[in-house]
Amino acid sequence: MSDPATLSRDARIAARLNRRYAAERRFKALGFVAVLFSALVLAFLLVTMTANALGGFQRAELRFPIDFASGAMTVDPAQLEGANAMQVLEGAGLKDVVAFAASQSLGDAGAAELPDGAWREVGEALIDDPSRLGGTFQAALPASDDLAAALRKDGQPQLRGLADQLAAQGKLVTAFDWGFLSRGDATGPQDVGIWGALKGSMLTMLVTLLLAFPIGVLAAVYLEEYAPKNRWTDIIEVSINNLAAVPSIIFGLLGLAVFLAIFPNYRSAPLIGGMTLALMTMPVIVISGRNAIKAVPPSIRDAALAVGASRVQTVFHHVLPLALPGILTGTIIGMARALGETAPLLMIGMRAFVASPPDGFTSPATVLPVQIFLWSDEIDRGFVERTSAAIIVLLLFLLVMNGLAIYLRNRFEKRW
């Protein structure tokens, strides 16, 4: 190559072109790889979770017939109408009847793998339809955790032979477990359900919404429409912007030190959880609310003021309704974030083992993300699947919420 100094200007430019275009292509490829990487990680995460979750929505069931007609148990169907029907059945020896039928069909080794409380599911079926007492009932009851593990070629080796044998006879099958969506927490992976956590999440979210939405919207209205330009307003704005970025765990510390000090009886309660999350969600609603209000053109305000409306009337009759879709979008996004939040709720004791679904805002509860966290500690393969299934449920909820937000944004947001 000749000395660059002797080359003409155009030749110099041309000489470098290939190198420059190669750099251009490399740079573009790098960008594409970066985006692709994120996409692949997301896909990998979703695929592993879904693959694990498929097992989590199922349980190992022992299937065998129970012959009630032969008269081993005498119960008057009329007695099953009352509130203590289960006690009636227990008194009539339903547990033994089930155990007997199980050992008849599954053998003693198989019957031993029927958990103690499994007969209650038969009891519920009988209460649902007492006429079943007159015939043969095909029971499908959860197998013990050990047998379920053996069916997955996991856990204790000595049970695997039994599991294979029962499975070959069609007496031990893996079936979709509707109960997973309707039960509370339990100690074994075969018996757990997410309804308790889900209900806890809903109650908590309701408290959060009832507190954060009105406060957030009113604060946004004040700051955007009425606040005088002074030091106080500046402090409020700085507070809100900073609160939006404070780590969530700090809100947990606040909840612990303040809310639990005021209401010591409501430890683990959705009320306290909701209050804590409300403080976290409120800044999000204020910020999105302000943007939505800012987007309403001043001409609307002028028009309302010009016909003699007061400033309060102008805002509440005209500005707020127009800004509402934007505010709602921000609210849903903030609520979705709160729904997935775990750390602050650990701080205020929502990590306790709560077997029965909460029956109010003040009873001990857990929420879905915390439930996931609690189960994640268990190394049992069955719990891994259940945890993944709970994650899929949580992600579905978030997907629906975000989808709703996007729909609202596209459907109602006007461009002025």
Partner 1 sequence: MSPAIPILLALALGLIGWLAARSRAWAMRKAVRAEGGELHSLPNYHGWYVGLWAVVPALAFAAVWSSLSPNLVLQQVLSDPAAQGLPAFGIQRDAILAEAQALAGGGGATGFQKGSAALVEPFRAAMHTYAVIGLIVTLVLGFAGGAFAYLRLRPHFTARTRVERAVMVGLLAASLVAILTTFGILASLLFETARFFSVVSPVDFLFGTHWGPDPMSEPSSVSGDRYGAVPLFWGTIFIGAIIAMAVAIPLGLMSAIFLTQYATPLLRKWMKPLLEILAGVPTVVYGYFAALTVAPLVRDFGHMIGVASASSESALAAGLVMGIMIIPFVSSMADDSIAAVPQAMRDGSLAMGATKSETIKKVLIPAALPGIVAGVMLAVSRAIGETMIVVMAAGATARLTANPFESMTTVTFQIVAMLTGEGSFDHPATLSAFALGMVLFLVTLALNFIALRVVKHFREAYE
Partner 2 sequence: MNTLHTLDSIDPKITARNVSVYYGEKRAIDDVSIDISPKYVTAFIGPSGCGKSTFLRTLNRMNDTIAGARVEGDIALDGVDIYKSGMDVVQLRARVGMVFQKPNPFPKSIFENIAYGPRIHGLAASKTELEEIVERSLKRAGLWDEVKDRLTDSGTALSGGQQQRLCIARAIAVEPEVILMDEPCSALDPIATARIEELIDELRGNYAIVIVTHSMQQAARVSQRTAFFHLGKMVEYGKTSDIFTNPREERTKDYITGRYG
Q: Which of residues 20-39 bind partner 1 (CB under 8 A)?
A: 20-21, 23-24, 27-28, 30-35, 37-39
Q: How many CA atoms does the CB half-sphere of 313 hold within 13 Å?
A: 9
Contact criterion met (CB below 8 Å) for 405 and 379: no
The torsion of the CA quartet 252, 255, 257, 260, rounded to 10 degrees, works out to -130
Q: Does 317 contact partner 2 by CB under 8 A?
A: no
Q: Does 10 contact partner 2 by CB under 8 A?
A: yes
Q: Does 239 contact partner 1 by CB under 8 A?
A: yes
Which of positions 374-413 make contact with partner 1 (CB under 8 A)?
376, 384, 387-388, 391, 394-395, 398, 402, 406
Contact criterion met (CB below 8 Å) for 365 and 204: yes
* Size of site (CB under 8 A) for partner 1: 89
Which of residues 133, 223, 284, 389 is near partner 1 by CB under 8 A?
A: 223
Which of residues 2, 13, 95, 196 is near partner 2 by CB under 8 A?
A: 13
Q: How far is the CB of 179 from partner 1 (least distance, A)?
A: 23
Q: Does 178 contact partner 1 by CB under 8 A?
A: no
The values of phi and psi at residue 138, to 5°, are -85, 100
Element (H, E) at 174: strand 172-176
Q: Does 1 contact partner 2 by CB under 8 A?
A: no
Which of residues 1, 2, 17, 229 is near partner 2 by CB under 8 A?
A: 17
Site string for partner 1, 125-164 (x = CB under 8 A): ----------------------------------------
Q: Does 11 contact partner 2 by CB under 8 A?
A: no
From the CB of residue 325, how many other CB atoms can be counted at a distance below 10 Å?
17
Strands (E), 29-169: 58-67, 136-142
Q: Does 226 contact partner 1 by CB under 8 A?
A: yes
Q: Does 8 contact partner 1 by CB under 8 A?
A: no
DSSP one-letter string for 216-239: HHHHHHIIIII--SSHHHHHHHHH
